[in-house]
Chains A and B, each alone.
Chain A
Amino acid sequence: MSQADETQTETVSEDGVIESVSGPVVTATDLDARMNDVVYVGDEGLMGEVIEIEGNLTTIQVYEETSGVGPGEPVENTGEPLSVDLGPGMLDSIYDGVQRPLDVLEDKMGTAFLDRGVDAPGIDLEKQWEFEPEVEEGDEVEPGDVVGTVPETVTIDHKVMVPPDYEGGEVTAIESGEFTVEETVVELSSGEEIQMHQEWPVRQARPAENKETPTEPLVTGQRVQDGLFPLAKGGTAAIPGPFGSGKTVTQQQLAKWSDADIVVYIGCGERGNEMTEVIEDFPELPDPQTGNPLMARTCLIANTSNMPVAARESCIYTGITIAEYYRDMGYDVALMADSTSRWAEAMREISSRLEEMPGEEGYPAYLAARLSEFYERAGRFELINGDEGTISVVGAVSPPGGDFSEPVTQNTLRIVKTFWALDADLAERRHFPSINWNESYSLYKDQLDPWWTSEIASDWAEVRQWAVDVLDEEDELQEIVQLVGKDALPEDQQLTLEVARYLREAWLQQNALHDVDTYCEPEKTYRMLTAIKTFNDEAFDALEAGVPVEEIQDVDAAPRLNRMGTSEDWEAFIDEIEADLEEQLRALY
């Protein structure tokens, strides 16, 4: 986190004195501070942020444990709002909620436990990076323009930009070679100097020229998501589900396989072991597009449930600001927030300590505003330098008791356009991903269809609609089956149930733990679906020709549909099944 400039601190602000302490909320008197200024609290210098000013009394939320802190201890103001350091080195990093690198903290603290009062810059200030200029002396540059690149990881070239709050002007000097992020690499006629890093206050969105309608899907490699409920690059999605329904696995699958350039993964108030799993797995897993380690495109933010609650409130902002910075370089960024409910609860906890008037279920009245502010920072943007970049946001929601009518879920649903509803019943029968196909929806479907039609198959929209219809019909038929049993249904309806079963078991289900099945390219998603449709068409032809439904169900080739997902050489495998289905079903009449 950014340490304010020492000299500046002394001139701008005066130190205050702690008046009271209650958990993460501390009040101080005689502190000359503005709203959202970062302050250092107590003898140990715990980091905090000003959240309320009333007369001479300033209220501060502290990002660290406050045990043992007492009235009378000093509070020092940095005079700067909570900001992040933006520059090369953020990828392949793991931060806490206020952008302190956890590996550096381990080193500095010398223990596996998180000590207090230790600060560390978000990016390594000593490391030398290879700066390659992209402009020449005499070129005119404006805010947002790229002046050079730095190979940040094997996958990503980091673009050094003119900060958005600069004036811009003619390049008067430019360097090339190895520099630290604090050294000036470009000088402008306006007198401004450009370094490889910028600072940006987290609660303020970075500027962009314009927001446009997304037209390309974020390909996730997950059949039910790509196939039925697609998310656009620049879109927003929510994954609500009760505990044990697979939210985290779903989020991690997206972080692993989606075709974004950059992934920002925020573990907000979740389990420590889950973050450890990501830290251990991602460096080993290959990025599906480049084959490089996944970590080379990933920035992790981990504020686990037992880490201080105020830092949980800020980790969402830290994450989205980092995402915006990479968007400004023209990249497609995907941000996963697991879980936004914990974020909302952190707001509630702090709000109740401030004794604010509570809204619904004790959440502060500004809950809806904060949620929409956050999701509005997603989108497909025309950048200030004229390029294009996107941020797709996927927020997990953990509704208490799995009840979707609670305020966080409801306020989220008002904003997001894709809704992946996780279902505990499906999870119990180990149907994963447990996305309920009757409740979920995507409002991007229509605007993404042209992409699917031109890139994958011209009849994509019809085939998908066929699948949706069959699943809908199954849903209705199941109600009757519950009453009278399957055998009481007419034969054609029995066959529909059989087809729907294959849609569920062979197509909607996908094994995240299987080496092959874990990622399904769009072509395969389409082909698997058409294979089931082939079974459907051939089977109904057979039924019409008078073949009893039992015989149709018993053909050898049909159960092999269930093995399509795990088959590596899927093209040949599916061709073979289709040929066999045709042959075996036609042989019956």
Chain B
Amino acid sequence: MKEYQTITEISGPLVFAEVDEPVGYDEIVEIETPQGDTLRGQVLESSDGLVSIQVFEGTGGIDRNASVRFLGETMKMPVTEDLLGRVLDGSGNPIDDGPEIVPDERRDIVGEAINPFSREYPEEFIQTGVSAIDGMNTLVRGQKLPIFSGSGLPHNELALQIARQATVPEEEEGDEGDGSEFAVIFGAMGITQEEANEFMDDFERTGALERSVVFMNLADDPAVERQVTPRLALTTAEYLAFEKDYHVLVILTDMTNYCEALREIGAAREEVPGRRGYPGYMYTDLAQLYERAGRIEGKEGSVTQIPILTMPGDDDTHPIPDLTGYITEGQIMMDRDLNSQGVEPPINVLPSLSRLMDDGIGEGLTREDHGDVSDQMYAAYAEGEDLRDLVNIVGREALSERDNKFLDFADRFEEEFVQQGYDTNRSIDETLEIGWDLLSMLPEEELNRIDEELIDEHYREEEVEAVQAD
């Protein structure tokens, strides 16, 4: 391994050095500062004689006399089942004073694309115990379903609730036939120490830490390191899922910080910027993270992803949520108005979506009436929402009896169906029964999206009379 003292330029997170032997693209570099610190980086561009290096820990302390070593390999993550229960920093070094980690294998963190031919289509229902998700935007194993949130909204509480409660219903009945266990990988990028404590406390309180691996890049850690953290997390997830048969739930927070870091590096490299200064390859870059969710034919385990991102200015057309939405299989939208009304979790189901829902629900999976009930509630809630605007202008009295029923439906939908608190764990049956309670407020003939037989079976006749008697 050759050492160079040939740094020619230091600019933001980038270091340029002259070399006299070929260096591979993406290779890992160690830089030793005159103070004796060792910093790690990665080759961003390699041409004959000159390489540009992005330094994960930031370029502070590097001067032109620092020595540069090229390790001759791309970035690897040491993986082993023993990682469960451990807390690592954003570069994958243990920070929990635990024993040294002896890896089974060292894996390239970039990861290769899963051959679409080898994938298995995700259709196993995951019960999160949250009605707005289970009932309306069902999560399935192997899905990537982000939470689109905003600053100050309780997305962390929701993520924790999902991590705590997520189960696959049949397995509760002792059907441990596939022998797969559940694991949570938590990748934090640029979150505050306080948020980090909140997560860690909850993990410790509920004992979830034992089946978790935590990667922490905090707000005051170097931004460039955020490039690596999710890749380490996903490499660990893939190992646990496809080698050790775990069902892995990966929570990545906050993707907005990740994208900011991407922009920072792009700017330092003087690249042609795309929308709002984010690099033109951000779609591809994000896809290389999100697409690492899934199931593979012939493998027991699965990788399910719940990335969290805060939308700048609550704007879902901002490049970060926009590109994310084009890659992920739906989104869960947090809503500021619902939050101020005290609805917990404040999920607005209308702009939320789960693309894989249709194949994960129905007879034999959840319940025969699930699809129709969810469709009908969507339509009815949307109609109620529309009418609210009108009520503001003309008042309730000016509306017909039919319209008033839809307005009542929308109110109760938020108060009873969406509202449940962060500690309530509802089974899918409970969720759907609440759904029928609410739908029965509407006249039977308005339920045009539900099969007639299902209406006969579930529709509550007495509710109608009660409402009409009001």
Contact = CB atoms under 8 A, between A and B. Distances in A.
Contact of A68 (B74, B120, B296): B74
Interface string A37-71: 00000000000000000000000000001111111
A22 B399 CA distance: 64
B114 to A, nearest CB: 6
Contact of B25 (A69, A348, A349): A69
A484 interface: yes
Interface of B: 21-27, 44-48, 73-74, 108, 110-122, 142-143, 242, 271-275, 280-281, 283-284, 287-288, 290-292, 294, 296-299, 316-319, 322-323, 325-327, 329-331, 350-351, 353, 355-356, 358-359, 371, 375, 378-379, 382-383, 389-390, 393-394, 398-400, 403, 445, 448-449
B121 A273 contact: yes
Contacts of B23: 70-71
Interface string A292-329: 00000000001011110100000000000000000000
Nearest to B292: A306
A343 to B, nearest CB: 12
B46 A70 contact: yes
Nearest to B112: A113
Interface in A107-140: 109, 112-116
Contacts of B291: 271-272, 304-306
A21 interface: yes
Given A112-B118, A114-B113, A484-B393, 13 more contacts: A22-B45, A66-B26, A68-B25, A69-B25, A70-B24, A105-B115, A109-B115, A116-B112, A244-B351, A272-B113, A272-B119, A362-B280, A485-B390
A272 B45 contact: no
Contacts of B325: 242-244
A244 B378 CA distance: 15
Interface stretch (A256-264, A275-283, A451-459): A275-283
Nearest to A506: B448
B272 A358 contact: yes
A19 B121 contact: no
Interface in A202-254: 242-244
A69 B24 contact: yes
Contacts of A302: 116-117
Nearest to B273: A362
Nearest to A357: B272
B113 A429 contact: no
A72 interface: yes
Given A67-B110, A279-B117, A485-B394, A21 B45 contact: yes
Query: Interface residues of B: mostly helix, strand, loop or mixed?
Result: mixed
Nearest to B349: A428
A275 B284 CA distance: 17
A6 interface: no
B61 to A, nearest CB: 27
Contacts of B48: 19-20, 71-72
Contact of B47 (A20, A106, A304): A20
Contacts of B353: 244, 427
Contacts, number: 226
B275 A361 contact: yes
Interface residues of A, number: 78
Interface string A345-362: 100110010010010011
Contact of A21 (B46, B116, B294): B46
B121 A277 contact: yes
B393 A483 contact: yes
Contact of B280 (A19, A68, A352, A562): A352
A582 to B, nearest CB: 20
Contacts of A349: 280-281, 284
A450 interface: no
Contact of A482 (B116, B296, B351, B390): B390
A71 B319 contact: no
A97 B48 CA distance: 30
Interface string A70-94: 1111000000000000000000001
A412 interface: no
B284 A304 contact: no
Contact of A429 (B296, B359, B379): B379
B22 A71 contact: yes
Contact of A67 (B24, B317, B448): B24
B121 A112 contact: no
A110 to B, nearest CB: 11
A182 interface: no
A358 B117 CA distance: 36
A22 B25 contact: yes
B25 A112 contact: no
Contacts of B287: 269, 304-306
B116 A276 contact: yes
15 contacts: A68-B25, A68-B27, A102-B115, A109-B115, A113-B114, A114-B113, A271-B327, A272-B294, A273-B143, A305-B290, A306-B292, A348-B280, A349-B281, A400-B317, A559-B448
Contacts of A267: 116
A416 B400 CA distance: 45
B112 to A, nearest CB: 4
A65 B112 contact: yes
Given A20-B45, A21-B46, A106 B115 contact: yes
Contacts of A279: 116-117
Contacts of A482: 389-390
Contact of B378 (A21, A68, A430): A430
A400 B319 contact: yes
Given A271-B327, A486-B400, A513-B371, A113 B116 contact: no
A387 interface: no
Name which of A73, A307, A358, A424 has the most chain B CB atoms within 10 A of its CB: A307
A1 to B, nearest CB: 16
B414 to A, nearest CB: 16
Nearest to B266: A352
Contact of A112 (B115, B355, B375, B382): B115
A306 B316 CA distance: 23
A115 to B, nearest CB: 7
A458 to B, nearest CB: 32
Contacts of A23: 25, 281
Contacts of B382: 428-430
A52 to B, nearest CB: 15
